[in-house]
Structure 1
Amino acid sequence: MKNVKTLLLFASVLLIVACSSDDDSPSTPKSTLKITLNGVQPLDGDLTYEGWIMVDGLPVSTGRFNTTSASTTKNFSIATADLEIATAFILSIEPKSNDDPAPSNTKILNGTFVAGAATLSINAMVGNFVNAVSPFSGSFIKATPSDNTGGIDNGNDDYGIWFIQNETTPGLINLPTLATGWKYEGWVVFNSGSTPVTTGKFTMASGVDSASPYSGNEPVPAFPGEDFLSNLPTGVDGNINGLPVVISIEPDVPGDATTPFFLKPISGTEGVNGNALSVTTNINALINGTAQIN
């Protein structure tokens, strides 16, 4: 019995020493990374924002979040050792369902740290719409080639939109090249602005777009566009006369919403100015931010 008591006493001493050792271990020093975002609107669909700092040339996540308004401030507690040598901040868009340890190709803002602060810009991450040498110009036509059996026009051109000047000439001249991780998507907005309907996704002014869910079966021009003839959303008649037309920039990420993303730099209205499309050139003035190490 005496030996048993001695063993129990020895075990208790070891446990107390171990706990004391754990309590005395220093915690990792943390500092605050403050992110201020302007124009970065809440994400729809199965998407989330994720911040990253570049440390020794490698991305380190600062955390995932969504915004609740176009102007947002977020504070993150990050290891001081990482923040002291961080060279840049990046904001990416990620699928909620796949927490990858590296950022996706879809990055919306970035900036380089100088004296603990970074100014965040969209231009290098998405695309530069300021081009004084070769400025963008755009237009579209009404046509429904996908139901013109034998090439005979059915006379229902009010039910289709094509971003062309004619069958061989694109309507989107000097379309800015998007960064990897982004695609354009055309939309016609029906029902007094309440129902945007896609014309398909694309990356270039020439070449077919990603889908033709509402078109017929006859050949169509090798350009972005859509005929609104069948399988339309409830309440949409397909007639585009007088309706707003938008080209958005969409995240090329699984889980992208079926409604337009908040980047909508190109727009026009059917029947106005010869169906011309205008572009918001300096989107960086509308969508930007800062990252501050405190």
Structure 2
Amino acid sequence: MIKNMFLAVLAVGFLATSCSDDDDNNTPNLSNLTLDLDGLEALGDDFVYEGWIIVDGAPISTGRFSSVTFPQSFEVDANQLADATTFVLSIEPTVDPDAGPADTKILAGDFNGNSQIIVNSNLVADFSSATGEYILATPTDTDDTNEASGVWFLNNSADPAVKGLELPTLSAGWKYEGWAVIDGTPISTGTFTDADMADDNAATSVFKGDAGNGPGYPGEDFIQNAPSGLTFPTDLKGATIVVSVEPYPDNSPAPFTLKPLAHVVPADAANHTVIPMSTGPVSVLVGAVKR
């Protein structure tokens, strides 16, 4: 009887040891991936950032985050991290039915065997050659006294007018948006993907006059239905005209971080006259990723 009990105790001990060994063997080998990114803005409650490493051509999530205070570190499978060729940062819905990365990829860089790489937003587009022009005019009303209350991204120095923006084609998941920042309040002129066509709200804008949709280029007349705190018609002299790059779907009614073109309307700006834009405050985002 004593012998049988002793054998039973040995068996239990062997099983416990075996289970412990199995648990140890199943413990994943993890490494830290550290992000030190500059210029990202908070996305609000409906969207988050998500990192991805590309391993054998497939994306593997490195974790989601909403804080834009850096550096931040994430535990990642060590073997996968060592084999990764690329890091990508995307913008994802907070409630996301899709396990893969969204089209709104904002930063990327290749490891090429390096332990630390520089990532940038050039995969959205390269804005180094972006230029812009606009005029002050209100073609959607019949009152010639309000011409400084509208902005249109076109060049009318010859007939017919031509587009006023030279912008690169954006990658999937992004759109351009025009803005007039009036007394510190940004008011959208509409989103668009092609500067040679009217913007997306050409036929639905509540701000325009009642005489039509305006020319077939991005722009807006601020004639009626002013937001709270503003009065339309207005005078855009002294306002800042901006072209931003927005995630699509958009995370916020305010301008996004990327603003490749901007210009303060001169106090002596003439109506119906071409005004050149300047390089905006943020045309590229950068950061470091270390594995």
Which TM-score applies when normalising by structure 1? 0.81
1:113-139: CA deviation from partner (whole Å, max 9, x where unpaired) = 12233221211x1111223xxxx4322
Q: Does 1:213 align with 2:206?
A: yes
Q: Equivalences for 1:110-189 in 2 at 5 Å?
A: 110-115=108-113, 116-123=115-122, 125-131=123-129, 136-148=130-142, 153-166=143-156, 168-189=160-181
**d(CA) in 2 for partners of 1:45 and 1:163?**
33
Q: Equivalent residue for 1:199?
A: 189
Q: Structure 2 unaligned segments of length 5 or more: list them.
A: 1-7
Amino acid at match of 1:256: N
**d(CA) in 1 for partners of 2:14 and 2:206?**
70
Alpha carbons of structure 1 residues 265 and 15: separation in structure 2 relative to 1, 3 Å: farther
Deviation of the 1:55 alpha carbon: 1.1
CA RMSD of aligned residues (A): 2.7
Amino acid at match of 2:176: Y
**d(CA) in 2 for partners of 1:143 and 1:19?**
82
Of the candidates 241, 258, 261, which is equivalent to residue 263 of structure 1?
258
Which TM-score applies when normalising by structure 2? 0.82
Deviation of the 1:62 alpha carbon: 0.5
**d(CA) in 1 for partners of 2:152 and 2:57?**
44
Amino acid at match of 1:119: I
Deviation of the 1:100 alpha carbon: 2.3
Q: Equivalences for 1:235-250 in 2 at 5 Å?
A: 235-238=229-232, 239=234, 240-250=236-246
Q: Structure 1 unaligned segments of length 5 or more: list them.
A: 1-9
Deviation of the 1:213 alpha carbon: 3.0
Asked whether the 8 Å contact 2:257–2:282 carries over to 1, the reply is no
Q: Equivalent residue for 1:60?
A: 60
Judge which range, 20-29 or 175-184, deviates more: 20-29
Alpha carbons of structure 1 residues 15 and 222: separation in structure 2 relative to 1, 3 Å: farther
Of the candidates 248, 252, 261, which is equivalent to residue 252 of structure 1?
248
**d(CA) in 2 for partners of 1:99 and 1:78?**
22
Deviation of the 1:67 alpha carbon: 3.2
Deviation of the 1:96 alpha carbon: 1.4
Asked whether the 8 Å contact 1:182–1:250 carries over to 2, the reply is yes
**d(CA) in 1 for partners of 2:11 and 2:226?**
74
**d(CA) in 2 for partners of 1:17 and 1:33?**
38
**d(CA) in 2 for partners of 1:175 and 1:98?**
31
Q: Equivalent residue for 2:98?
A: 100
Count of residues in Structure 1 that have an aligned counterpart in Structure 2: 268
**d(CA) in 2 for partners of 1:66 and 1:97?**
13
Judge which range, 164-173 or 105-114, deviates more: 164-173
Deviation of the 1:45 alpha carbon: 5.9
Asked whether the 8 Å contact 2:262–2:281 carries over to 1, the reply is no
SS of residue in 2 equivalent to 1:140:
strand
1:200-226: CA deviation from partner (whole Å, max 9, x where unpaired) = 001121111111231134321111011
Amino acid at match of 1:81: N
Percent of residue pairs bearing the same amino acid type: 37
**d(CA) in 2 for partners of 1:289 and 1:45?**
24
1:222-250: CA deviation from partner (whole Å, max 9, x where unpaired) = 11011112222101113123211111111
**d(CA) in 2 for partners of 1:182 and 1:14?**
63
Judge which range, 74-83 or 137-146, deviates more: 137-146
Q: Equivalences for 1:37-48 in 2 at 5 Å?
A: 37-44=37-44, 46-48=46-48
